[in-house]
């Protein structure tokens, strides 16, 4: 177990290093005058030289790369070209929003997807199972931004016009300020994130669970008189979670890109919206910082999924 954790930690650190190197190459090694982005298109040659010296752009590329890695090791992501604000400050301010959106979306899609998959597997030929499968296919066919727009139209706009203010418009309240309002403002974004992915987990859970319920040890448990609920939830479901956990590790990576759209649709002040603004203004330090932090989030989430996979499946611990 210890060797496995150390191996995964080294692999995760390697991935972050590769992403950081790729970001450096894209924004500093390719032909681009970063100093002109800072100083403006009408800056004089003297001003450009001063900016290059301040940013270290007048040094050899290898020296710039070593300095870049040294700053990363200290947690220094530089300053915004546009506002001169520390990138770490910007990310710390916006990460709580994106983290809340990601965490709630993952919990909700796991609960909906696994719950619907188990219900469909227990009675695969029932009308309820066919209804769940049709609903999953419909959700899977729609992009998250479309679901978000539909939720805003029917659950906010239409209800507000009818005098029912059940769901607030796009905004954010910190969890430490008011946990209830924090969840209230994020419920529609959570649903938008979760519905599309929950459809995948519903179909995956159903198919894997149906196969597991045909195993010999399940038949033996039924022959001994074990209740069906205990068989499904105590034995079969746990054995069926390994593919679900593998899928979760892959979907966490795609979640980072999906959050950008959801934050823009609902007007949430998260890292996704910050990245869009930085791209439009070519604010390179902010773009690089968000890319590196996003990579760190993905590898950390995958590391946690791998650990959970080992804890769920005892066969992996013995190997």
When mean pLDDT is compared across 101-105, 130-134, 223-227, 294-298, the lowest value belongs to 130-134
- 3-class DSSP state for residue 232? helix
Residue 316 has pLDDT above 70, yes or no: no
Q: What is the structure's pLDDT at 121?
A: 86
| Residue 31 DSSP code | S
**How far is Cα 230 from Cα 314, in angstroms, rounded to an integer?**
19
Residue 99 has pLDDT above 80, yes or no: yes
Contacts of 191 (CB under 8 A, 6+ apart): 108, 147, 151
- Same domain for 43 and 155? no
pLDDT digits (tens, 9 = 90+) for 137-193: 787 778 888 888 888 888 877 777 777 777 776 678 888 888 888 988 888 899 888
Assess if residue 122 is contained within a domain.
Answer: yes
Among residues 22, 45, 73, which one ends one of the domains?
Answer: 73
- Same domain for 21 and 165? no
**Which residue range(s) make up the domain with 36?**
14-73
Assess if residue 227 is contained within a domain.
Answer: yes
Assess if residue 3 is contained within a domain.
Answer: no
Assess if residue 103 is contained within a domain.
Answer: yes
Residue 38 has pLDDT above 80, yes or no: no
- Same domain for 181 and 236? yes
Residue 256 has pLDDT above 70, yes or no: yes
Based on its alpha-carbon atoms, the radius of gyration of the chain, rounded to whole angstroms, reads 24
pTM score: 0.78
Q: How many domains, in total, are found in the chain?
A: 2
Assess if residue 6 is contained within a domain.
Answer: no
pLDDT digits (tens, 9 = 90+) for 62-89: 888 888 888 888 888 888 877 888 999 9
- Same domain for 34 and 142? no
- Same domain for 167 and 60? no
**How far is Cα 22 from Cα 150, in angstroms, rounded to an integer?**
38
Kindly tell me the burial class for residue 281, based on how many C-beta atoms sit within 10 Å of its own C-beta (0-12, 13-18, 19 or more): middle
Q: What is the structure's pLDDT at 173?
A: 85
- Same domain for 57 and 156? no
Mean pLDDT of the chain: 82
- Same domain for 238 and 160? yes
- Same domain for 298 and 199? yes
pLDDT digits (tens, 9 = 90+) for 182-235: 988 888 899 888 888 888 888 888 888 888 888 888 888 888 888 888 888 888
Residue 125 has pLDDT above 80, yes or no: no
pLDDT digits (tens, 9 = 90+) for 231-249: 888 888 887 887 888 788 7
Q: What is the structure's pLDDT at 223?
A: 86
Band of residue 33 on the pLDDT scale cut at 50, 70, 90: low
Assess if residue 9 is contained within a domain.
Answer: no
- Same domain for 53 and 131? no
**How far is Cα 125 from Cα 116, in angstroms, rounded to an integer?**
14
Band of residue 36 on the pLDDT scale cut at 50, 70, 90: low
């Amino acid at each position: 177990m210890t060797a496995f954790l150390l191996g995964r930690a080294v692999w995760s650190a390697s991935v972050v290093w590769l992403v950081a190197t790729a970001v450096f190459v894209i924004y500093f090694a390719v032909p681009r005058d970063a100093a002109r982005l800072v100083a403006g298109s009408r800056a004089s040659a003297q001003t450009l030289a001063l900016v290059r010296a301040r940013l270290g752009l007048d040094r050899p590329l290898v020296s710039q790369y070593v300095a870049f890695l040294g700053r990363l090791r200290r947690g220094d992501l530089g300053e915004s070209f546009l506002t001169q604000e520390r990138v770490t400050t910007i990310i710390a301010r916006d990460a709580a929003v994106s983290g809340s959106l990601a965490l709630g979306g993952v919990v909700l899609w796991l609960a909906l997807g696994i719950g619907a998959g188990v219900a469909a597997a227990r009675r695969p030929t029932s009308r309820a199972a066919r209804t769940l499968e049709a609903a999953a296919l419909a959700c899977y066919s729609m992009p998250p931004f479309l679901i978000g727009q539909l939720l805003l139209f029917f659950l906010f706009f239409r209800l507000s016009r009818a005098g029912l203010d059940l769901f607030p418009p796009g905004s954010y309240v910190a969890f430490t300020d008011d946990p209830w309002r924090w969840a209230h403002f994020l419920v529609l974004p959570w649903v938008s994130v979760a519905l599309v992915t929950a459809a995948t987990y519903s179909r995956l859970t159903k198919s894997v669970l149906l196969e597991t319920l045909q195993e010999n040890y399940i038949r033996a448990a039924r022959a001994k008189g074990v209740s069906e609920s205990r068989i499904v939830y105590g034995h079969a479901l746990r054995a069926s979670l390994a593919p679900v956990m593998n899928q979760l590790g892959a979907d966490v990576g795609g979640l980072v890109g999906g959050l950008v759209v959801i934050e823009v649709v609902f007007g949430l002040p998260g890292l996704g919206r910050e990245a869009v603004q930085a791209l439009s203004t070519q604010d390179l330090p902010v773009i690089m910082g968000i890319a590196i932090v996003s990579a760190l989030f993905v590898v950390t989430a995958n590391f946690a999924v791998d650990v959970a996979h080992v804890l769920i499946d005892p066969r992996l611990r013995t190997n």
